[in-house]
């Protein structure tokens, strides 16, 4: 279930924590999982374990909402660009040295956390979505292919679409589902993820689902602003640590 030298309990704890964060915030599973697993294994290996937990939890998140078709029609250019760019760029995650991949992962996490802590309130005019969506999707795909993290810049863009809370959570699930499928295809094409032997990734889905269920139960009981600040601070520290390790 884990990479060489990585304790099984640590992997299970990582996915349980990542699922809890996702249950509370509607996102955060890939960044938490990739960040913590990146401390003990190569990013490409961590991304392979991420596939099943991410796919299952995000399909659940998207399917649970009410406006599936409307959200898909509005964001399909973004999604198509994410899929194509992620598949094409995933070789960056598997090729070259693991130290460069670790540094790239750390940089992505630190940037994501910095944007979150800045609390920038962006707005995307509806008329610009047709051309801006594919641009954001392609950029997200390249970063996903290099780091296994699929939140930048897709999450800030989706947050700027002026959706209500439930639709935002649902469309984040849709975006992450597209990224996960494309990442799995890219890794499989390059021999870094074997669909027939994906039992370890499926096992990781168990603690992730348990954590997500607990997070959803706690969502109304926690202070959203405090949780958000602590989450991004943790991601920032983790990202800087991984960046330092990758560069040294």
State the CB neighbour count (10 A cutoff) for residue 43: 28
Mean pLDDT of the region 62-68: 88
* 102: nearest Cα among 248, 201, 236: 248
The pLDDT score that the predictor gives to residue 220 is 80
Q: Choose the weakest-confidence range: 13-22, 154-163, 209-218, 223-232.
A: 223-232
Indicate whether 96 pLDDT > 70. Answer: no
Q: Choose the weakest-confidence range: 31-40, 195-204, 232-241.
A: 195-204
Residue 196 or 32, more confident: 32
DSSP conformational letter for 34: H
Burial class (CB in 10 A: 0-12, 13-18, 19+), 40: middle
**Residue recorded with tokens 């960044």:** 31
Average pLDDT, the chain: 88
Indicate whether 90 pLDDT > 70. Answer: yes
Q: Would you place residue 81 in the very low, low, confident or very high pLDDT band (cuts 50, 70, 90)?
A: very high
**Are the CB atoms for 58 and 176 separated by under 8 Å?**
yes
Q: Would you place residue 118 in the very low, low, confident or very high pLDDT band (cuts 50, 70, 90)?
A: confident
The pLDDT score that the predictor gives to residue 3 is 53
Q: Choose the weakest-confidence range: 1-10, 105-114, 128-137, 230-239.
A: 1-10
**Which tokens sit at 91?**
């070789």
State the CB neighbour count (10 A cutoff) for residue 39: 15
Q: Would you place residue 75 in the very low, low, confident or very high pLDDT band (cuts 50, 70, 90)?
A: very high
Mean pLDDT of the region 65-71: 90
Distance (Å, whole) CA 110 – CA 180: 21
Extended beta strands in 21-149, E state: none
The pLDDT score that the predictor gives to residue 196 is 55
Q: Which residues of 188-223 are buried (b: 16+ CB within 10 A; e: fewer)?
A: beeebbeeeebebbebbbbbbbbbbeebbeeeeeee
Distance (Å, whole) CA 237 – CA 75: 32
Mean pLDDT of the region 27-36: 89
Residue 2 or 238, more confident: 238
Mean pLDDT of the region 136-152: 92
Mean pLDDT of the region 111-138: 90
Backbone angles phi, psi at 97, to 5 degrees: -80, 150
State the CB neighbour count (10 A cutoff) for residue 4: 7
User: What's the sign of the alpha-carbon dihedral 84, 21, 218, 6?
Assistant: positive
Q: Tell me the CA distances in angstroms from 122 to 73, 84, 135, 191, one per residue in order.
A: 22, 26, 16, 39
Distance (Å, whole) CA 166 – CA 26: 9
Indicate whether 63 pLDDT > 60. Answer: yes
Residue 3 or 194, more confident: 194
Distance (Å, whole) CA 107 – CA 166: 30
């Amino acid at each position: 279930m884990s990479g060489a030298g990585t304790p099984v309990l640590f992997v299970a704890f990582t996915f349980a924590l990542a699922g809890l964060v996702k249950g509370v915030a509607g996102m955060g599973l890939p960044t938490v999982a990739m960040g913590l697993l990146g401390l003990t294994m190569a990013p490409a290996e961590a991304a392979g374990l991420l596939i099943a937990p991410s796919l299952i939890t995000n399909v659940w998140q998207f399917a649970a909402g009410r406006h599936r078709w409307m959200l898909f029609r509005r964001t399909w250019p973004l999604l198509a660009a994410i899929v194509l760019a992620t598949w094409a760029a995933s070789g960056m995650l598997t090729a070259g040295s693991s130290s460069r991949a670790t540094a790239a992962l750390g940089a992505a996490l630190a940037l994501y956390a910095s944007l979150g802590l800045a609390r920038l309130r962006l707005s995307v005019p509806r008329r610009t979505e047709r051309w801006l969506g594919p641009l954001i999707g392609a950029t997200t795909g390249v970063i996903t292919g290099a780091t296994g993290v699929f939140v930048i810049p897709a999450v800030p863009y989706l947050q700027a679409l002026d959706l209500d809370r439930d639709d935002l959570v649902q469309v984040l699930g849709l975006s992450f589902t597209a990224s996960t499928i494309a990442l799995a295809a890219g890794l499989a094409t390059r021999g870094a993820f074997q669909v027939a032997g994906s039992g370890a990734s499926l096992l990781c889905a168990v603690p992730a689902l348990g954590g997500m269920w607990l997070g959803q139960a706690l969502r109304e009981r926690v202070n959203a602003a405090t949780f958000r600040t602590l989450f991004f601070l943790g991601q920032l520290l983790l990202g800087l640590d991984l960046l330092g390790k990758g560069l040294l």
